[in-house]
């Protein structure tokens, strides 16, 4: 059962985000909406700039580290055109407070740097991150897409794989035109489904939307590490996560999928006030640590 706060948060997001975004035809407007700081930086984390694999970004570390180090590469969302490690401190800082040393790449954004720039940055960051020792990977929305693509590239190139991955409402299918893209068109508190149609050309700049590096749902998923998916039941992206989880499980991948009622897209930002957000982050942390700590056994 969803909390009363989840209903209130959904109303606030619909009023303050979906209505401002409209159909997302203007990059400046998207960046203005997503670039704001709605939640404070978690106080239990320390933030400092860094570079991994030639990709600039931000290290986020727990102020009070305890136990073996759990390393995590986190790829932020933002529709491939907006946001940064700084905007996503509410999530990366919360994960650091749960015991992770996090690096968040500041990958290149479209339309100034269309596909495959973000993919190249995500892969370069993971390759260098993995070279320093075992770790996990995570991401939300567009960042969840990039996390999946980076894992597939690592598998194909013989690069060390993540111990596990957490994907929050990932984009997995740029060609989807049915399922939750239709049934949740009026229920999604954040996005008008026409928005994703307009975001695609900004990111792709003529590239093939069926390319597995764009739509990882089209890839051979065998050999991926354990995957956790958290998504909202009312999201237009719900079936991107559900179908990806089903296909990965059919390919022999260990999968954990949870569909949360009422919550909005990437509700994990609201962990300071939303119990569902704390439960998602706690569950992801337990899942990732269970696999990450095997490297220390």
Please report, for the domain that includes residue 225, its CATH number.
3.40.50.1820
3-state helix vs strand vs coil in the chain, percent to 5: 40, 15, 40
Per the prediction, the chain carries an average pLDDT of: 94
- What's the burial of 252, exposed, middle or buried (CB within 10 Å: 0-12/13-18/19+)? exposed
pLDDT, tens digit, for every residue of 260-273? Answer: 999 999 999 999 99
Q: Which of the following is catalytic: 76, 88, 230, 265?
A: 265
- H/E segment holding residue 213: none
pLDDT in tens, 173-213: 999 999 999 999 999 999 988 777 788 899 999 999 999 99
Residue 235 is among the residues annotated as catalytic for this protein: yes
For the cut 70, the answer to whether the pLDDT of residue 22 exceeds it is no
For this structure, is 58 an active site residue?
no
Helices and strands, number each (H, E), in the chain: 10, 8
The residue annotated as part of the active site, out of 10, 141, 169, 180, is 141
Judged against a pLDDT cut of 70, whether residue 25 lies above it is answered with no
Q: Could you confirm whether 141 is annotated as catalytic? A: yes
Residue 296 has pLDDT above 80, yes or no: no
**Which residues form the domain of 214?**
4-296
Q: How confident is the model at residue 29 (pLDDT cuts 50, 70, 90)?
A: confident
Across residues 32-59, what is the average pLDDT?
92
Chain segment 78-111, per-residue pLDDT in tens: 999 999 999 999 999 999 999 999 999 999 999 9
pLDDT at residue number 231: 98
Q: How far apart (Å, rounded) are the C-alpha atoms in residues 281 and 275?
A: 10
The answer to whether residue 169 scores a pLDDT higher than 70 is yes
What is the per-residue pLDDT for 63? 94
Statement: residue 3 has pLDDT above 70: yes
**pLDDT at 23 exceeding the cut of 70:** no
pTM above 0.95, yes or no: yes
pLDDT at 37 over 90: no
- Tens of pLDDT, residues 235-259: 999 999 999 999 999 999 999 999 9
The single residue of 58, 97, 235, 276 carrying the catalytic annotation is 235
Q: Which pLDDT score is estimated for 297?
A: 63
Look at the chain and report how many structural domains it folds into: 1
Q: What is the pLDDT of residue 192?
A: 84
**φ and ψ at residue 59, rounded to 5 degrees:** -85, 135
């Amino acid at each position: 059962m969803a909390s009363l706060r989840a209903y209130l948060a959904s109303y606030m997001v619909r009023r303050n985000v979906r209505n401002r975004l409209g159909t997302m035809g203007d990059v400046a407007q998207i960046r203005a909406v997503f670039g704001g700081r709605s939640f404070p930086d978690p106080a239990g984390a320390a933030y400092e700039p860094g570079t991994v694999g030639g990709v600039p970004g931000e290290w986020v570390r727990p102020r009070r580290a305890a136990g073996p180090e759990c390393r995590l590469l986190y790829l932020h969302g933002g529709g491939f055109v907006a946001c940064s490690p700084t905007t996503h401190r509410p999530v990366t800082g919360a994960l650091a407070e749960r015991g992770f040393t996090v690096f968040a790449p500041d990958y290149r954004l479209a339309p100034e740097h269309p596909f495959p720039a973000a993919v190249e940055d995500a892969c370069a960051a993971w390759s260098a991150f993995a070279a320093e020792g075992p770790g996990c990977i995570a991401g939300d929305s567009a960042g969840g897409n990039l996390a999946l693509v980076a894992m597939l590239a690592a598998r194909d190139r013989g690069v060390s794989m993540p111990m596990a991955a957490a994907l929050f409402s990932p984009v997995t299918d740029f060609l989807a035109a049915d399922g939750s893209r239709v049934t949740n068109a009026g229920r999604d508190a954040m996005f008008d489904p026409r928005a994703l149609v307009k975001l695609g050309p900004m990111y792709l700049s003529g590239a093939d939307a069926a390319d597995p590096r764009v739509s990882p749902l089209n890839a051979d998923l065998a050999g991926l590490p354990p995957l956790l998916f958290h998504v909202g039941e009312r999201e237009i992206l719900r079936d991107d996560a559900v179908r990806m989880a089903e296909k990965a499980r059919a390919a022999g991948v260990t999968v954990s999928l949870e569909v949360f009622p009422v919550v909005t897209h990437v509700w994990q930002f609201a962990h300071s006030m939303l119990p569902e957000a704390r439960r998602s982050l706690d569950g992801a942390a337990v899942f990732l640590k269970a696999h990450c700590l095997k490297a220390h056994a």
